[in-house]
Chain A
Amino acid sequence: MHKEKAVRVGLFVPCYVDAFHPDVGIATLELLERFGIEVDYPFNQTCCGQPMTNSGCHAESAATEALLVKNFQDYDYVVAPSGSCVHHVRFNLDAIAQTDAVRKVRQSTFELVEFLHDVLKVEAFPWAEFPHRVAYHNNCNALRGLGHASMSERRVEAFSKPLDLLRKVRGIELVQLARPDECCGFGGTFSVFEEGVSSKMGHDKVRDQSQSGAEYVVSADSSCMMHQQGCAERAGMPMKYIHIAQVLNGASA
């Protein structure tokens, strides 16, 4: 980021985050502002269209996708605290004609971790301290779709953008899961239409997290964590779930 020209960033707060995890939206906004960025929040935003497309209903997704583009076409960057929604915008925003504005929004939309790691190239989070044992949950769309980290399926050099960022947080202790990139079973509408398998996967995931000794599970996706937290609470497990934006913004617990 250079000083010559003020960069305009539009904050996209996906529907789940807006309704169930407003603190994640607030942390994202505050964190970006800590780096001197002017952040706009377009009031007429709703959703990226993924729930409909995910169910095969592309036609039903078109108007929502068009609204997203209308809201965000004038920004240099669009930033959202959700790997899943950004994955949809970048790779699956196909229900509408691919105009210049659509292409621009698709290219300029970044998930928060990517934006901090690849665009801002953040060196430090001096305000952040999180003296807890943390298991990181890689959302599948962020991991395999956006390339947040190396995946166990491929023979590639190991890397992880979210862990690079978390390692800059004072006091944090990262623990390893037995199946670090196994899907947790949320899967959007899968979580309710295929409730049995989804829940079984979720309960297996939270057992793995519990056995790792993690006090906190941190992720770049609230939707996966909403599902996992629901499973952990039902199973009486004590893990707490917190979004990476909150940890990087200096949340103490």
Chain B
Amino acid sequence: MNDDHAAVQAAMAAAAQATGGMLYPELAAQSDESVVKEGRRLDHAEGTSHPIRPPSEPQPRGARVRGNRRVSQSEAANRFIAATQHEKMHDERLWDLRQKRDRVMHRIPEWEELRSLASAIKEHTLTHLDEYLDQFEANARSNGIHVHWARDGAEHNRIVHNILRDRGATSLIKSKSMLTEECGFRDYMASVGVKVIETDLGERIQQLDNEDPSHVVVPAVHKLRTDVAQVFAKTLGTDPGNSDVHYLAEAQREATRPLILKADAGMTGANFVVAETGTFVVCTNEGNADLSANVPQLHIASIGIEKIIPRLEHLAVFVRLLSRSALGSPMTQYTSHFRGPRAGGEMHVVLVDNGRSKRLGMEEFWTSLKCIRCGACMNTCPVYRRSGGLSYGATYSGPIGLIIDPTFNRHKYSALPFSSTLNGSCTNVCPVKINIHEQIAAWRKVMAENHELPLMKKSAMKAAGILLAHPTLYRAAIASADVALNVLPRFAIYNRLNAWGRHREVPHAPHQTFHSWYRKNRGTQ
């Protein structure tokens, strides 16, 4: 054996080690994600019954809601952030929707004009709400629709229950509706013995998991598919280790479709209500609203009174904005117009106020009624993306939730307006130009004026206000930078300097303030 040969052998051995024992790794079989156990490759049946990925972290749950007590969004957000797989998926998924929205926006040259039009139409309608609601009611009745009026969620639930009871209906299929969430509809129906089946896939997942929707458009977006596998395993009897999306979707379809086909009644919400035609429009991507509306003979639509628009031609403005803002798609897969019952069928509309009239009278907050529930403000919100929608502990989450939820219960949701950096992204993605971040700031003022701030915060701000209004006191307080380091963050954070330093280094203290530099170098004016 000469030296060359030894050198070649050594090189080959080194290469083999570096490539995991194979000299030509490119010739190895591509991974088929097969599952190997105790050196034996499992056969197909065994393999698919075992998770191919390492077990996922448990799903973080939402805010702790206890009666009327103040909900702490940040407490729940911290738990969501600690669940790193969930937080990362959630942030990236929603940021992806935001980017898709940006891309389709750039394909519409008149985008900003559309936003202005949409905002103007909504403001006009809201300031003539009584007229347009009367017009809708008259036209809907002449189309053969039964029109009901509900002052609040409880009245809505009773009206729907009466309709069902009078017709002996005990099962109801429904499409997704944030209004019915406001009304606590499913709980009420369960209490009176009516079986409710959600037909939107995400909403169905949430119903089966006994959890509220975390987003107005994608209600289960906070769940990993492994979470869904757990829910379906418990409720539908699927394989808990199989989180294949097609498998799960098919299993749900198989389980739910028979319930849909034999349901006594169907319920939808509405995205838009047209006064001049007495009709309403439902936008979905799964076609599930059409099942809910058309399979049973009885169709009930629950509609918030702010959904109205004057004329059919106005619909074009909103339909162009809605799905582009929500998901970055040009239109929802289904845009269904309902104008009256089918032959032999019955159609009811329940127009619900539930706090909307009161909100309309709030000078700083009434324009929140322009909202078309696209969820764009949630997708763009950096706080929402890192917190999950359930951290808000309220029907509406994200930026729009911060300004709507306190109208339902000021004390309970008094901390929510502080779950924002006021960065203004929400206001600028909003397709109907709601000044969301300005309303968030305005709610903070309302909370402070109504003694809803925690005492520590209030007294810290009072102390800061005094210090900063008195130059001599202020200068004495920050005379040296070392002292400034203690005092300055403190005017914002009282004695919680550790709140800064938990995940960050504290700022370096310079040897002098600008003020003392100026005195030393530029004299005394």
Task: Give me the interface of A with B, judged by CB distance under 8 Å.
Answer: 13, 15-26, 29, 40-41, 43-47, 49, 51-64, 66-67, 92, 140-141, 144-145, 151-156, 179, 181-183, 185-204, 226-227, 229-231, 233-234
Q: Considering the chains assembled together, what is the distance between the CA atoms of A152 and B465 in angstroms?
A: 36
Q: Considering the chains assembled together, what is the distance between the CA atoms of A151 and B427 in angstroms?
A: 12
B452-470: which have CB < 8 Å to A?
A: 453, 457-458, 461-462, 464-466, 468-470
B95, B493, B507: which has the most chain A beta carbons within 10 Å? B507
Closest to A66 in B: B469
Asked if B514 and A13 sit within 8 Å, CB to CB, the answer is yes
CB-CB < 8 A to A186: which residues of B? 421
Check A56/B447 contact, CB under 8 A, given A25-B514, A140-B424.
yes
CB-CB < 8 A to B382: which residues of A? 182-183, 185, 201
Task: Give me the interface of B with A, judged by CB distance under 8 Å.
Answer: 74, 77-78, 81, 87, 91, 95, 102, 105-106, 108-109, 111-112, 380, 382-383, 386-387, 417-425, 427-429, 441, 443-449, 453, 457-458, 461-462, 464-466, 468-471, 474, 478, 481, 484-485, 488-489, 491-493, 496, 499-500, 502-510, 512-515, 517-519, 522, 524-525
CB-CB < 8 A to B469: which residues of A? 46, 63-64, 66-67
CB-CB < 8 A to B466: which residues of A? 63
CB-CB < 8 A to A203: which residues of B? 503
CB-CB < 8 A to A151: which residues of B? 425, 428
Q: Is the interface of B mostly helix, strand, loop or mixed?
A: helix
Asked if A197 and B387 sit within 8 Å, CB to CB, the answer is yes
Q: Considering the chains assembled together, what is the distance between the CA atoms of A89 and B272 in angstroms?
A: 40
Asked if B514 and A144 sit within 8 Å, CB to CB, the answer is no
Minimum Cβ distance to chain A for residue B451 (Å): 11
Q: Considering the chains assembled together, what is the distance between the CA atoms of A232 and B105 in angstroms?
A: 34
Closest to A187 in B: B421
Minimum Cβ distance to chain B for residue A54 (Å): 7
CB-CB < 8 A to A22: which residues of B? 510, 512-514, 517
CB-CB < 8 A to B420: which residues of A? 187, 190
Asked if B496 and A192 sit within 8 Å, CB to CB, the answer is yes
Closest to B522 in A: A41
A-B pairs, top 5 by smallest CB distance, nearest first, are: A187-B421, A56-B444, A230-B504, A60-B465, A63-B469
Minimum Cβ distance to chain A for residue B278 (Å): 35
CB-CB < 8 A to A229: which residues of B? 505, 507
- Which residue of the partner chain, among B386, B424, B468, B489, contacts A145 with CB atoms under 8 Å? B424
Minimum Cβ distance to chain A for residue B496 (Å): 6
Minimum Cβ distance to chain A for residue B387 (Å): 6
Q: Considering the chains assembled together, what is the distance between the CA atoms of A49 and B474 in angstroms?
A: 13
Asked if A155 and B507 sit within 8 Å, CB to CB, the answer is no
Minimum Cβ distance to chain B for residue A184 (Å): 8
Asked if A190 and B448 sit within 8 Å, CB to CB, the answer is no
Asked if B422 and A15 sit within 8 Å, CB to CB, the answer is no
Q: Considering the chains assembled together, what is the distance between the CA atoms of A105 and B470 in angstroms?
A: 20
Q: Considering the chains assembled together, what is the distance between the CA atoms of A173 and B159 in angstroms?
A: 66
- Which residue of the partner chain, among B446, B461, B519, B525, contacts A60 with CB atoms under 8 Å? B461
CB-CB < 8 A to A144: which residues of B? 423-425, 427-428
Asked if A226 and B507 sit within 8 Å, CB to CB, the answer is yes
Q: Considering the chains assembled together, what is the distance between the CA atoms of A54 and B444 in angstroms?
A: 8
- Which residue of the partner chain, among A19, A56, A197, A230, contacts B77 with CB atoms under 8 Å? A197
A-B pairs with beta carbons under 8 Å apart, 27 shown: A15-B488, A18-B513, A22-B514, A24-B514, A25-B514, A26-B517, A46-B474, A51-B464, A51-B492, A56-B417, A59-B448, A60-B465, A67-B468, A140-B424, A144-B427, A154-B428, A181-B425, A183-B423, A188-B492, A192-B489, A192-B492, A192-B496, A193-B418, A197-B74, A199-B504, A200-B81, A204-B91
Minimum Cβ distance to chain B for residue A139 (Å): 9
Asked if B77 and A190 sit within 8 Å, CB to CB, the answer is no
Asked if B428 and A56 sit within 8 Å, CB to CB, the answer is no
Asked if A19 and B481 sit within 8 Å, CB to CB, the answer is yes
